[in-house]
Amino acid sequence: MVAGKDSKITLLDTSLAEVGLQRVRSVRPLPDDPEILAPLYAVGESILVGAQDNTVRRIEIRASQAPMWCFDTESENGRCN
């Protein structure tokens, strides 16, 4: 689940596949003046990171950090540049 600057919360599919907009499962508005506590979410040996540029990245955490996928909440197809 990712909170965006547009006052919406988006539920994303956390699978490893590059699926573009199909990653979005649900979008809901946030309540007025929400408090967002952390831009990180753990999934197994990886984390989902929300960034200020409206992207969400899944990064594998082991001996090194390896990007697994990136999702752009503002692009038409959901893909990062």
Domain coverage including residue 12: 2-72
Is 37 among the domain residues?
yes
User: What is the C-alpha separation between 41 and 53, in angstroms, rounded?
Assistant: 17
User: Is the whole-model pTM more than 0.85?
Assistant: no
Is 26 among the domain residues?
yes
Characterize the bridge pairing of strands 8-12 and 24-29. antiparallel
Give pLDDT tens digits along the chain (81 positions). 666 667 777 777 777 677 666 777 788 787 776 666 666 677 788 877 777 777 777 778 777 777 777 778 778 777 776
Question: How many independent structural domains does the chain possess?
Answer: 1
Question: How remote is the C-alpha of 52 from its chain's centroid?
Answer: 11
Is 33 among the domain residues?
yes
The sheet with strand 55-61 has its strands ordered as 40-43, 46-50, 55-61, 65-72
Is 80 among the domain residues?
no
Is 13 among the domain residues?
yes
Is 81 among the domain residues?
no
